Structure 1
């Protein structure tokens, strides 16, 4: 469980924001094939709460039914996967990576391991390096100066008004 009194998060562009009152339950990595496809990645990291503690504070996410009992919420502007909801369940899960403070929510389990990518356990032995965009003029600096990503905290409006 993540012990914070509240959590906030949202999509990459800032069009959809949410808040959770209280703790997040059962943070986990789901390796099922539907989560791989929904996240476009090896797994989806999720943590949940009861619906009455969850609120959308900005925007209106779109929903896709990945199966009859399961829906996935995302931002229709930037495509960020945000939510997982089983129909008729009192719980909703958020993607841990969409939290403003994802570091505060440590997964406790790996689920759907029957579909886990066969080389997943070897990824952590790969060489590591910092981001290097020397393939373009002014590389990392150019990206930092032109960043359109929403910051990791709530804002009154987004994008911010230009002077």
Structure 2
């Protein structure tokens, strides 16, 4: 029994623990597993296996498989199962003891931690790969917008009339 519990607790760590690199598919058909460090104008900067940085032009990138998405999906499904398990098993905890209650709450606890780790890893990678703004300034607000209710003629000589 104790061996099963240890395997259950350690398997998500062993399966997903080292998967923090993105798989970057390139136009020439090659793929590269690397950690995305940051985005530069027209390129993505990654850290390759030997620790050095490599700048990949965006025009050469056809797809990026970010880390963490698989873990987040499995964690979300396990959390949902854990929630159902808690709803069904929690009322029986007092009569069945501590080991039973551990089994009731364990899937939700493991699933929630996998979901949080997966989402934070995925968000970190996608943020690092996103295009930097073209300039450091705040964009200008357009002269007219859908919410501009001022009365202007726009050269036609007529006024805007609001309908009821």
Question: What is the TM-score normalised by the length of structure 1?
Answer: 0.25
Q: Which has the higher strand share?
A: 1
Question: Which structure is larger by alpha-carbon Rg, 1 or 2?
Answer: 2
Q: Which has the higher helix share?
A: 2
Question: What is the TM-score normalised by the length of structure 2?
Answer: 0.25
